[in-house]
Amino acid sequence: MKRRPSASYAHTSPFLAALCRWLSIQCLLLAVTLPVVNAAEAAAAPAPSSAGVRWNQLGFLSDAPKRFVVAAGAEVAAGAAFEIRRAGETSVLYRGKLGAKIWDERKVAGEEVAVGDFSEMAENGSYELVFLGSATPFSVGDAEYRSLRRDALRCFRLIRAGVALRDPESGIEHGPSHTEPVAVEGREGKRDLSGGWYNAGDFGRWTHMAAISCSYFMTLWETGAGAFPDDFDLADATPGPNPLLRETRWGLEWMLKMQNPDGSVLHKVDSEPQMAWGKAPDHDPHISVARGASSIDAGVFCGAMYQASRVFAKIDPAFAERCSGAADRAWRWLEINPDVRHRDPYYVDANADSETLWAACERWLASRDPAVGTEVQRRLAQATAPQLGWTDPGVFGVFSIARLAPPGAVQDLARSRLSGWGDQLAELSGQNAFRVALPPEGYSWESAERVLHSGALLAMAYQVTGAASHRDAAIAQVDWVLGHSALGISLVTGHGAHRVCAPYHWAQIALGKTMPGWTSGGPNAYPDGADEPLKALQKKGTPPALCFLDRCSYDGSWASNEGETSENAALVYLIGWMCSEQERVSARAGVAAAGR
């Protein structure tokens, strides 16, 4: 359950000895770890090196930027030396120096930092960074990324609603859940709305979150990055050629259930305001209700269903036709009802502009209706902010037009928009030592989700422009989520030497089990809607980028440590894209080697 907090804050903390402050924060993070956290998982999460190196804890792709951040202080000055050697060896492979600039990150992180860069190292292997007498291991290659790609998508299999689950890997087990027909707000009778995904830490299921997740998956498939190995070790009767499209099909089938006969689309199914926190899904004592339709939901439904009609056209023509017909009905309803609001207290969206842009883009690709093309151009001209997320999903449609539309004014405008958005985000990323595309005031609810969506937008821009600045900034957002941050921890469960262990999630609190590959919410400096433990941390004057608690309990930190499907779908997209990029690089290197 999410609620967008107020949009302003202003507080900083006094500057302390930077390295000591950072180490104290690590102790704080460890101290607040969940009492019911999986003991084996907690034991697998050692502290960072004594040198305070903060970087992507999964390692680096061979041709990606490779950076680390350390706190500046008495022992760490600009130009300080570091070395890299092979793991287990003493000979030095690479000698480098910290950059000449000391970055002032006191406003957001409470410290000044220096940056080391060894991007020239491109050979795959296991290495150690030696700095201040401490050796910190890391790897170059894509093996860890392929593992994360699998786990991040596999999480969706573990959060399916309406089915029993017995997972041999995570230990998550429960019976069939939320299978009973539910009442629909404002309508008579009950309907079968089983299926879909539990969106976040509770058992709510939202149309717009499912649409965004499905579109991320389908976009991976359409851009040639959807080759996920069939290695989930879980039975699945859902049709589809591989796990990615089977999970997409699961989400789409539930969305089809959410459409009313008049073409409108229901917003969500949940038990608001009662939530069964601490219960497994098959022990939820509350009665779920389907909430009324809105223009926002019709818009995202249109966008995802038109895309599905294209993606599944050759794989399953009958299903593709179902999606196309459903999208047509939703479009007709949306034309007549452009501004029907929902009353959801958890997901507050001011208007349906971005959702309608997405719908119009995909409608135009499907129909080539000149009137719709004019509407797309009008809406594209108004879409100036570089945003992608659950309130701003229009980028999915813009990217589809940039890739698939015939040459002309509409495609040119879409490409121009993506290029400009990529430039803005890349510039923002370069304004801080951590290379994160967040402004100083951006550490709010689901900050990690915002970072991942920005990374996805940058990756889309790169696929249109080929600009290295877009590619590098996209990868930098993944670096931040995986530990190249003020926190210095990976915000993804099961991945990274020092990682989140206690995500605020029903599987954690009810079963004491952790899903590998699930992303946490991220630092949140805003008290509006925050949990009491996080508010206490904020009141201490904690810098915004450190307002985070790895805590899942009855007084856990939902406002900083709760992930959701749209966030994890962005992770699936980014890691899938990165793996595909690495495969292309490796293929080119192989061709070059064969030609010598």
**Region 279-283: what's the mean pLDDT?**
97
Could you tell me which residues come within 8 angstroms of residue 77 by beta carbon, excluding any fewer than 6 positions away? 98, 102, 114
Cβ(431)–Cβ(442) below 8 Å: no
In the predicted structure, residue 343 carries a pLDDT above the cut 60: yes
Q: What is the pLDDT of residue 587?
A: 78
For the ranges 39-43, 146-150, 330-334, 484-488, which has the lowest average pLDDT? 39-43
**Region 345-359: what's the mean pLDDT?**
92
Q: What is the pLDDT of residue 21?
A: 41
Percent of the chain scoring above 90 in pLDDT: 83
38-57 pLDDT per residue, tens: 444 443 334 444 469 999 99
To which residue do tokens 């704080």 refer? 28
Length of the chain: 596
**Where along the chain do its domains lie?**
53-140, 144-586
- The string of DSSP codes covering 518-558 is PBP-------TT--HHHHHHHHTT--GGG------STT--H
Distance from C-alpha of 487 to C-alpha of 105, rounded to nearest angstrom: 13
Q: What is the pLDDT of residue 74?
A: 76
In the predicted structure, residue 274 carries a pLDDT above the cut 70: yes
Distance from C-alpha of 421 to C-alpha of 24, rounded to nearest angstrom: 37
76-86 pLDDT per residue, tens: 989 999 999 99
Helix axis angle, 447-465 to 565-595, nearest 10°: 40
Cβ(68)–Cβ(84) below 8 Å: no
The DSSP output letter for 405 is S
In the predicted structure, residue 12 carries a pLDDT above the cut 70: no
The DSSP output letter for 467 is -
Q: Is 67 helix (H, G, I), strand (E, B) or coil?
A: strand
Q: Is 346 helix (H, G, I), strand (E, B) or coil?
A: coil
Q: Which two tokens stand for residue 361?
A: 């883009």
400-425 pLDDT per residue, tens: 999 999 999 999 999 999 999 999 99
Distance from C-alpha of 116 to C-alpha of 137, rounded to nearest angstrom: 15
200-235 pLDDT per residue, tens: 999 999 999 999 999 999 999 999 999 899 999 888
In the predicted structure, residue 162 carries a pLDDT above the cut 90: yes
From the list 454, 565, 572, the residue with the least C-alpha distance to 209 is: 565
Could you tell me which residues come within 8 angstroms of residue 397 by beta carbon, excluding any fewer than 6 positions away? 303, 357, 358, 359, 360, 361, 362
CB neighbourhood size of 147 (10 A) = 16
Q: What is the pLDDT of residue 69?
A: 98
Cβ-in-10-Å burial (0-12, 13-18, 19+) of 493 comes to buried
The confidence band for 11, taking pLDDT boundaries of 50, 70 and 90, is very low
- The string of DSSP codes covering 188-249 is SSEE----SB--SSSS-EEHHHHHHHHHHHHHHHHTT-----S---S---S-SSSHHHHHHH
Could you tell me which residues come within 8 angstroms of residue 162 by beta carbon, excluding any fewer than 6 positions away? 176, 177, 178, 179, 194, 195, 196
Distance from C-alpha of 228 to C-alpha of 176, rounded to nearest angstrom: 27
The DSSP output letter for 88 is T
Q: Which two tokens stand for residue 79?
A: 């130009």
Q: Which two tokens stand for residue 50?
A: 């004594």
**Region 562-585: what's the mean pLDDT?**
96
- Which one has a higher pLDDT value, 244 or 10? 244
Distance from C-alpha of 566 to C-alpha of 588, rounded to nearest angstrom: 33
Asked if the domains 53-140 and 144-586 are classified in one and the same CATH topology, the answer is no
Q: Is 383 helix (H, G, I), strand (E, B) or coil?
A: coil
Cβ-in-10-Å burial (0-12, 13-18, 19+) of 141 comes to middle
Q: What is the pLDDT of residue 350?
A: 85
Distance from C-alpha of 19 to C-alpha of 271, rounded to nearest angstrom: 46
Secondary structure string (H, E, C) spanning 13-62: CCCCCHHHHHHHHHHHHHHCCCCCCCHHHHHCCCCCCCCCCECCCCCECC
In the predicted structure, residue 2 carries a pLDDT above the cut 70: no
The confidence band for 593, taking pLDDT boundaries of 50, 70 and 90, is low
Listed in sequence order, the DSSP H helices in 337-467 are 353-367, 370-382, 395-404, 409-429, 447-465
Question: Which residues are bridge partners to 68 per DSSP?
Answer: 116
In the predicted structure, residue 364 carries a pLDDT above the cut 50: yes
In the predicted structure, residue 36 carries a pLDDT above the cut 50: no
Could you tell me which residues come within 8 angstroms of residue 31 by beta carbon, excluding any fewer than 6 positions away? none
Architecture of the domain delimited by 53-140: Sandwich (2.60)
Cβ(145)–Cβ(133) below 8 Å: no
Average pLDDT across the chain, whole number: 91
Q: What is the pLDDT of residue 15?
A: 30
Distance from C-alpha of 196 to C-alpha of 187, rounded to nearest angstrom: 21
Distance from C-alpha of 141 to C-alpha of 126, rounded to nearest angstrom: 9
To which residue do tokens 């009958």 refer? 318
**Region 550-557: what's the mean pLDDT?**
93
- From residue 237, alpha-carbon distances to 193, 242, 313, 486 in Å are 19, 12, 20, 43
Q: Is 329 helix (H, G, I), strand (E, B) or coil?
A: helix
Task: Report the DSSP pairing between strands 182-184 and 289-293.
Answer: parallel
From the list 590, 529, 595, the residue with the least C-alpha distance to 562 is: 529
- From residue 184, alpha-carbon distances to 160, 193, 196, 337, 345 in Å are 21, 10, 17, 19, 18
To which residue do tokens 């500057």 refer? 15
416-467 pLDDT per residue, tens: 999 999 999 999 999 999 999 999 999 999 999 999 999 999 999 999 999 9
Q: What amino acid is encoded at 528 in this protein?
A: D
**Largest pairwise CA distance in the chain:** 75
CATH entry, 144-586, from 1.50.10.10, 3.30.420.40, 1.10.357.10, 3.40.50.970: 1.50.10.10
Cβ-in-10-Å burial (0-12, 13-18, 19+) of 218 comes to buried
Helix axis angle, 468-481 to 447-465, nearest 10°: 160
From the list 77, 113, 111, the residue with the least C-alpha distance to 97 is: 77
In the predicted structure, residue 501 carries a pLDDT above the cut 90: yes
